[in-house]
Structure 1
Amino acid sequence: MVAQFESFSDDIDVLRLRCQSDDAGIRRVAMLELGEAFDPLAIDLLVAGLADGDAGVREAAAKSLDEHDGPEVVRALVAALEDSVPAVRSAAAESLAEKKECGCNDLLIERSGHADPFVRSAALRALRQLRDPEAMAASLRALQDPVPEVRREALGVLGYLKAEEALPALMNAAQDSDPTVRRTAMAALVFSKPGSHGAASLIRGLSDGHWQVREEAAASIGKARLTEAVPALIERMADEYWQVRAKAANGLGRLKARDAVGVLGQALQHSISNLRKEAAAALGEIGDAQAVPALNAAANDPDPDVRKLVRWALDRCAA
């Protein structure tokens, strides 16, 4: 981003004066403009803005600190997680989650055990991007948290770490009572290897009672290239939710599953164009001549994106 004020040394002084205005609206605008002022004083002014008496000013300061880095920024945002106004807390959490290097990993790990579940979940969310192995123990503990949101954020940290030693905990989370936690566990298990216990958990996830869990399981299976899941993915091509079918089709394409040519060909006639696109793309990835009749039948699909993928798939099947 080009610094808006770096060519005008007086502008930061103007903003400093605006930050002292009696008008909260002027102070709020100054906070937003400070997000683009790449001057050391800008950080000081924004950190001070987090203590402003007006919640709108504090929220604007928290949002603008997203554009600045450094331990002092992170410490200020962590403190703002305990603000009395939810909008300020949320803005601080959003800005924290964008920090890929912060220098305050220990502070975030410590806050992951805070009494307030919002602070716990925000700290874990910020730790995810940092990929700090030191956060594993705290994240494993957080999987026992009574609040689902905290458990989901802990799974995000463990998923980013891709540590084999966390696999048993991820497998347990795949059976969590909360479907949003189970769905996140499916995403975290994406690093599972063929034949592993993690792979078995993903395959079981395809039969979960909640469609979004099944959808995430299908997506992760494709990414992990779990060939043993092909029969289960083919079964999901009959799922009542087209979103699950679409992810199953994508996975079958990634796995180049020739046994799936028939069900993928049938999906080319589905009323949802997104599913037809995934089916055509999957058939192209598989590249089996047996798919040619179904692809020819879809050559005049009303959706131009589907037609384009059908033509591409036909070229692949003819190669």
Structure 2
Amino acid sequence: MTDFDTSRQASAAARFGRVAVLMGGTSSEREVSLDSGRNVLAALRGLGIDAIALDGIPALNRALREASVDRVFNVLHGQHGGGEDGVVQGLLEAAGVPYTGSGVLGSALSMDKIRSKLVWLALGLPTPRHVAIRKGDDVRRAASLIGFPLIVKPACEGSSVGITRVFDENGLAEAVALAERYPGDLLMETLIRGGGEYTVGILAERALPSIRIVPAGEYYDYHAKYQAEDTRYLCPGLSGEDEQSLRQLALQAFQALDCRGWGRVDVMRDEAGRFWLLEVNTAPGMTSHSLVPKAAAELGLDFAELCLQVLETSVEEAP
């Protein structure tokens, strides 16, 4: 760290006040969120910031009533007790407390993959062909519209929860049954293959170097994301014009959903080299396996500096 960086960190406690690291909650991504939160909490405290842990929305609500926090670093993942669906953001804006990440609209749109796609399609941005499925809908008819191979997943979950790749009609019923375990509608979309899986972190309105994800197995599933030690992450994932095009597309997709501060955009590439937008994550993971820290490291930002820069966006983006 330079002398400037040291000086900036020394003044952090006064600038930010007491920071609540919001983690855990009751969504399907609770364990990942707790891991993220512990890492962020340790980093902020290491920078001399007065940081405390809050587990879930009820704990946050109590802290707001007691006026015991000045700012929130949100790493609460998911919906229905998570912090990515706009509920936490609305609560914090009503209380006048600044926070990291996107606002109410950006969070709600990004959490709902179906509505994200509608926005992107309206703007001419590429996303795989899809059908929204509600309970009772004819899934075979939907599959005939999409064509095999396809993906079935909950429309409002993250971390690869409830996702199945379906290659023929025989696997359809089981895939739908798995996705229906989670609240909300289902999403059926074309399975993009051939050119790899990519992610692009966004920090303070700029796109970080892309990462190409190369799992040891065939797919980048929950195990490959959070447990496996043999998943490879190539950063930057591309070079030259391809890399610039991917970063530009990711930033466009992020801003199209009214997102701000920081986040992550997940993209697939087909065998013809075309990019296809999958989703935006407005409170990305901050675990040892997470992708935004890996991309930041490519630019020379260690984990603590990344946390500090994310926290600084809450100053710029205060409601």
Which band: TM-score by shorter chain? Answer: under 0.3
What TM-score do you get using the length of structure 2 for normalisation? 0.23
Query: Comparing both structures, which one devotes a greater share of its residues to helix?
Result: 1
Higher relative contact order (CA 8 A, sep 6+): 2
Query: Comparing both structures, which one devotes a greater share of its residues to strand?
Result: 2
